[in-house]
Structure 1
Amino acid sequence: MTKPPAIGRALRAEYDSLLPPLKLGRRDFLATTLAAGFAAAAGPVVAQTAITTEASGLTAGAVRIPVEGGSIPAYRAMPEGATEAPVILVVQEIFGVHAYIQDVCRRLAHEGYLALAPELYVRQGEVSRYTEISRLLSEVVSKVPDEQVLADLDAAVTWAGRNGGNVNRLGITGFCWGGRVVWLYAAHNPRLKAGVAWYGGLDGETDELRPRQPLDLVADINAPVLGLYGGNDGGIPVETVEKMKAALARGSDAAKASEFVVYPDAPHAFHADYRPSYRADAATDGWQRALAWFERLL
């Protein structure tokens, strides 16, 4: 068996939830950076639960976002003809902007939002090259600097403001790897109005690429975050959620306005409807709470 890479507890839970198998046929992995299919690396697709949202009535598809030194790919979905749509950044899982993340964008677009999901580690590697999850984590995901991620999200906001979005009504949501990023971005961008973090890491080791964790940032949070977590998440114990709650209560006004919902029996990645970790009740309730959060704050 391939030795797991040195990664944080939240990503360790993600890694463990995908075993077995570790090794995948190249033809089954992500075909492109913005993949049309689901990420085979996530394990077998649960066809009877995977949700597909049509793009009728939407402007949806791949775009490129200018960043320092070039541009990065992204997936955009918004109501057709919209000129002042509120903007929601959608932050990927470890598998990139694949079909599930694109579908989340379309779901939000049907609610009236410009949803934009940039590829946030495209500089570190092309995910289609990888046939082992451990190598994807150690060679790509673990090498993505937080500073780069935050700068790319800022660039995405700028792009959205020039392409039919109202960036004075700005939100962000993300899953697993992206859930942690939601907390970071809430402490980074003073224009942010609301965030929804799905089972994102809250603590862990720091290093040059990840100098601070969400627990270190509560004093700087600019917008309330709704945290949606599983009580049966092996990488994010409920004790850690409680620790974050206590820290938020001592933080900024926006931090104090943040909320958590913990679904007692839900595992990590309970919203990922294309995977065996999916829990329909928790996912549906969390999604409705997320929409209500954005409707109230944006």
Structure 2
Amino acid sequence: MTDELIAGTVTITGNGGDEIEAYAARPTDAAPRGGVVVIHHMPGYDASTKEMVRRFAAEGYNAICPNLYAREAPGADPDDAAATVRAAGGVPDDRLVGDVSGAADYLKALENANGRVGVIGHCSGGRQAFLVGCSIDVDAAVDCYGAFVVNDPPEAMKFMKPLLGMASNLSCPLLGIFGADDKFPSPDEVAVLAAELEKLGKEHEFHTYADAGHAFFAVDRPSYRPEAAKDGWERILDFYSRTLSA
């Protein structure tokens, strides 16, 4: 790990050429390194997500999180921005992919980039990490309990649809982290996704934790499960060390 980081708000070119806000962090040294795009969860572009960006930088990666709600609620409190986006039915999938692609391009353009980029997301971001892996070329994807990859989303989330039919387009190794007590996605949904990836010959590794439900990584929620979260972080970092090294 490194203690010297550069972190702060940047502007990137997102979907359709839109200039959007993002939060980036990277080590200060010039050694070549991979990049990680953090896709924030439905609660938004918040402090815990920015902390995750810094964690990846401390672990030796260039990292960035695009503000997916920048158009609907620029400069708004994360809770207010999330409420606005929920009321609108969520973020369109094609726009999400364009914004993440722009974030990946930002990472690849850094002087110390080694050209390899992974994505990660939790909850809605987990679904979107899988979507990105099936939509553009990335080097690794991490889905942390992403719901509605297999099953239909609620009607209110009008821009979401199941993604299982896109599995044949998965461009990279996929790491899945799930809770056995989760309902979104349930273990049955995870099993369906695993079976489809196995059938298609797509490289993947899934880990499901007993006595853990949704959002077990979230240290500020009652759902937090320290042992599962610690092991999950270790698996994520091991996965990226294997997939994002030059």
Which of the five TM-score ranges fits, normalised by the shorter chain?
Answer: 0.7 to 0.9
- Give 3-state SS (helix, strand or coil) of 1:64's partner: strand
Deviations 1:114-167 (A, max 9, x none): 01100112223355386697x446314x23100000001111111122233526
Stretch moving more, 198-207 or 77-86 = 198-207
| Residue 53 (structure 2) aligns with | 105
Q: From 94, 103, 120, give the equivalent of 1:173.
A: 120
Instruction: Verify: 1:272 aligned to 2:218, yes or no.
Output: yes
Q: Which runs of 5+ in 2 are unaligned?
A: none
Closer, same or farther: CA 99–122 of 1 in aligned 2, 3 Å: same
Instruction: Kindly report which structure 2 residues correspond to 1:30-179, keeping only aligned pairs within 5 A, or say none.
Output: 56-67=3-14, 68-82=16-30, 84-126=32-74, 127-128=76-77, 135-136=83-84, 138-140=86-88, 142-164=89-111, 166=113, 168-179=115-126
Deviations 1:30-78 (A, max 9, x none): xxxxxxxxxxxxxxxxxxxxxxx9x940011111112335311111111
Give, in angstroms, the shift of residue 171 of structure 1.
Answer: 0.6
Closer, same or farther: CA 169–269 of 1 in aligned 2, 3 Å: same
Q: From 228, 233, 236, give the equivalent of 2:182.
A: 233
Q: How many residues align?
A: 238
Contact 2:39 2:66 in 1 (8 A): yes
What letter is aligned with 1:178? Answer: G
Equivalents in 1 of 2:54, 2:60: separation in Å? 10
Closer, same or farther: CA 292–259 of 1 in aligned 2, 3 Å: same
Contact 1:184 1:213 in 2 (8 A): no
Instruction: Verify: 1:294 aligned to 2:244, yes or no.
Output: no
Equivalents in 2 of 1:227, 1:103: separation in Å? 21
Equivalents in 2 of 1:111, 1:208: separation in Å? 37
Give, in angstroms, the shift of residue 224 of structure 1.
Answer: 1.1
TM-score, structure 2 length as denominator?
0.88
Contact 1:87 1:165 in 2 (8 A): no
Instruction: Verify: 1:193 aligned to 2:139, yes or no.
Output: yes
Equivalents in 1 of 2:51, 2:79: separation in Å? 23
Q: Which runs of 5+ in 1 are unaligned?
A: 1-52
Give, in angstroms, the shift of residue 209 of structure 1.
Answer: 3.0
- Give 3-state SS (helix, strand or coil) of 2:117's partner: strand
Contact 2:44 2:81 in 1 (8 A): no
Larger Rg: 1
Instruction: Kindly report which structure 2 residues correspond to 1:199-210, keeping only aligned pairs within 5 A, or say none.
Output: 199-201=145-147, 202-205=149-152, 209-210=159-160
Identity of aligned residues (%): 32
What letter is aligned with 1:84? Answer: P
Structure 1 residue ranges (4+ consecutive) displaced by more than 4 angstroms after TM superposition: 129-133
Instruction: Verify: 1:243 aligned to 2:192, yes or no.
Output: yes
Equivalents in 2 of 1:129, 1:75: separation in Å? 14
| Residue 282 (structure 1) aligns with | 228
Q: Let me know the Cα RMSD of the aligned residues.
A: 2.4
Q: From 123, 131, 136, give the equivalent of 1:184.
A: 131
| Residue 263 (structure 1) aligns with | 209
Closer, same or farther: CA 274–69 of 1 in aligned 2, 3 Å: same
- Give 3-state SS (helix, strand or coil) of 1:248's partner: helix
| Residue 22 (structure 1) aligns with | none
What letter is aligned with 1:94? Answer: M
What letter is aligned with 2:11? Answer: R
